[in-house]
A and B are shown apart, each in its own frame.
Chain A
Amino acid sequence: MKKYKAVVKVSLRENILDVQGKTIEHALYSLDFDMMNNVRIGKLITLDIEAQNDGQAEAFVEQAAKKLLSNPVIEDFTIEIIE
């Protein structure tokens, strides 16, 4: 068994209005950061995992992301596995 770190990023699906992101976007504009746009807020979940190899680690994390860490009705996720 090897030890890995996993980083799961969960964010609202692209076609869903992210009201928190919009609010922060407006705050950025009020600070003259008007070169910025399309602000989106998400969640960053990190965890340690033991698995045979990185492929297996990713498969476990993907199951967890689908089952609990994200809600597929409204969210997308990406997974990064680090040795």
Chain B
Amino acid sequence: MKFSVIVFPGSNCDQDAFHTAGSILGEQVEYVWHKEGSLSVDTDAVIIPGGFSYGDYLRCGAVARFSNIMKDVVSFANNGKPVIGICNGFQILTEIGLLEGALLRNQNLKFICKDVFLKTSNNKTTFTNNLSEEQVIRIPIAHGDGNFFADDDTIKSLQDNNQIVFQYCDENGNVNDQSNPNGSLLNIAGITNKSNNVLGMMPHPERYSEQLLGCNDGIQVFQSILNNFKNGVLA
């Protein structure tokens, strides 16, 4: 399987994503500079990594979405191929319209960098099939604008279509205000698109993908993408 990691000026989790896909998962991986016109034809999954593309100017992700390469990423996604956006990648995916909603400033106005617990609210997706139902995983967050917002109709359709994949919770899996770090509606930490081949999540699974880093819960997300590729479980 081959992963492509998109690199923008200001990306800073691209190397972590590359390491996770290449060295930990043991699959092929390449960087794709944002000025490129197209992905390699043998690309099987795209990772849009975290960071501060274009300095977060105007709005997080607002400028990166107009990068050359993003046209091909949109076609890739529209062909049903898996795209995962992490943190700034999630913001880019909402700006470009591959995912619904938007990420507002954290409710407490602080940049929050800490471990959080996530409840796997839907384990029947391209990105979560290696997790069990409602499994609680520990993943770090590091963002200033992670407060998920969408209008009432959109929230309802996200719920009706099981697009809410990860929710902030406590270590026992309780989703409540105390376990909500940033004010996100319904404690939303990650959502998919309707056809379940695009995931955006604010927490950083690539930062907790090997025991050497203190926790390897995050590898499950990448393992799920690989399972899906090998077995065609869902897509």
Q: B105 touching A19 by the CB < 8 A rule?
A: yes
- Specify which chain B residues have a CB less than 8 angstroms from the CB of A20 in the assembled complex: 105, 109
Q: Tell me the bound Cα distance from A69 to B106 in angstroms.
A: 21
A16 within 8 A of B: yes
Q: How far is the CB of A30 from chain B (nearest CB, A)?
A: 16
For this complex, into which size category does the number of interface residues on chain B fall? 20 to 34
Q: Tell me the bound Cα distance from A19 to B104 in angstroms.
A: 10
- Specify which chain A residues have a CB less than 8 angstroms from the CB of B95 in the assembled complex: 71
B107 within 8 A of A: yes
- Specify which chain B residues have a CB less than 8 angstroms from the CB of A68 in the assembled complex: 58, 62-63, 66
Binary flags per residue of A38-72, CB closer than 8 Å to B gives 1, else 0 = 00000100000000000000000000000011010
Q: A19 touching B109 by the CB < 8 A rule?
A: yes
Q: Tell me the bound Cα distance from A30 to B58 in angstroms.
A: 30
Instruction: Count chain B CB atoms within 10 A of each CB in A12, A43, A73 and give the residue with the most.
Output: A73
Q: B101 touching A73 by the CB < 8 A rule?
A: yes
Knowing A16-B149, A68-B58, A68-B62, the reply to whether A74 touches B109 (Cβ < 8 A) is no
Q: B149 touching A73 by the CB < 8 A rule?
A: yes
B220 within 8 A of A: no
Knowing A68-B58, A68-B62, A68-B66, the reply to whether A73 touches B94 (Cβ < 8 A) is yes
CB contacts under 8 Å to A, within B65-117, are: 66, 94-95, 100-102, 104-109
For this complex, into which size category does the number of interface residues on chain A fall? 10 to 19
CB contacts under 8 Å to B, within A1-60, are: 12, 16-17, 19-20, 23, 43
Q: How far is the CB of A67 from chain B (nearest CB, A)?
A: 9
Q: A71 touching B109 by the CB < 8 A rule?
A: no
Q: Tell me the bound Cα distance from A23 to B102 in angstroms.
A: 21
Q: A16 touching B104 by the CB < 8 A rule?
A: yes
B150 within 8 A of A: yes
Q: Tell me the bound Cα distance from A12 to B66 in angstroms.
A: 22
Q: Which residue of B lies closest to A45 (CB)?
A: B58
B156 within 8 A of A: no
Q: Tell me the bound Cα distance from A74 to B108 in angstroms.
A: 18
Q: How far is the CB of B18 from chain A (nearest CB, A)?
A: 29
- Specify which chain B residues have a CB less than 8 angstroms from the CB of A43 in the assembled complex: 58
- Specify which chain B residues have a CB less than 8 angstroms from the CB of A73 in the assembled complex: 94, 100-102, 149-151
Interface, chain B (partner A; CB < 8 A): 58-59, 62-63, 66, 94-95, 100-102, 104-109, 149-151, 183
List 5 A–B pairs whose Cβ atoms lie within 8 Å, in order of A's numbering.
A19-B104, A19-B183, A20-B105, A43-B58, A74-B104
